[in-house]
Amino acid sequence: MHLRINSPTVIHETMDDEVVIIHFESGAYFNLRQTGAEIWNMIGAGHSVEDIIRFYQRRHANNGKTVEQAVHSFVDSLQREDLVVLHDASGQIPAGAVSDPAGDDAGEFLAPSLEKYSDMQDLLLLDPIHEVDADGWPHRREESDDVTPD
């Protein structure tokens, strides 16, 4: 399964080993640390969920089942929050296996988690941006016959 970051609705910045994510439509924002930030960046680099799981199973040889469950659970949470969406990568060159400079069996697997903050949502939902029309406010998209097919 391939996913992609839900740009441009979502913007993100990696700061050291953390990622800060903002979802413009929901008004929620998020923080990822360590494993979560790694997985986010692997998704951004085009790796499939299966590649990501294999990477952690190689790195943490004794935690195979835990890794698979944790990655799936984390990816589900990213999808629920609309931060990533399914992506058809059939026409693309595969990103290939994830390389691991730390080598195999890097110790205990730290399960990824998504920290969510919702305290700005009221600001956003009360304050949308719209386009003006001749009748003032609000504008509704016309179903008229002069639609340009762009």
Partner 1 sequence: MSPRTDGRTATSRRRDEDSLAASVAAIAECFQSVSETLGPVIHHLRIDGQTVRISFAGHRLARTLLPALSHLGEPTAHSPGLSIRIWDTAGSGIGLPPGVVSAALTNAGSTVRRLQSESIRMMIQPEESMISLLDEERGEALLWLADAGNVPCHVRCAPLINLLQWWMCRHDRYMVHAGAVGTAAGGVLLAGKAGSGKSSAALACLDSGLRFAGDDYCLVSMNPEPYVHSLYSSAKLNSGDVDNYPGLAPALANPDRLATEKAIFFLGHAFPAALTGGFPIRAVVLPRVTPGATTRLQKTTGASALLALAPSTLFQLREAERETFRVLGSIIRRVPCFHLDMGSERTEIPRRIRALLEQLDHDR
Binding residues for partner 1 (CB under 8 A):
8-9, 11, 13, 15-16, 18-20, 22, 24-25, 27, 29, 31, 33, 117, 119-120, 123-124, 126-139, 141-142, 144, 146-148, 150
21 vs 49, which CB is nearer to partner 1?
Answer: 21
Kindly state the smallest distance separating residue 96's Cβ from partner 1, in Å. 28
Cα 88-92-96 angle, rounded to 5 deg = 100
Kindly state the smallest distance separating residue 35's Cβ from partner 1, in Å. 15
Side by side, which strands form the sheet with 18-23?
A: 10-15, 18-23, 29-33, 115-117
Cα 54-58-62 angle, rounded to 5 deg = 115
103 vs 136, which CB is nearer to partner 1?
Answer: 136
27 vs 112, which CB is nearer to partner 1?
Answer: 27
How far apart, in whole angstroms, are the C-alpha atoms of residue 100 and residue 1?
21
Torsion of CA 69, 103, 35, 78, to 10 degrees: -60
1 vs 120, which CB is nearer to partner 1?
Answer: 120
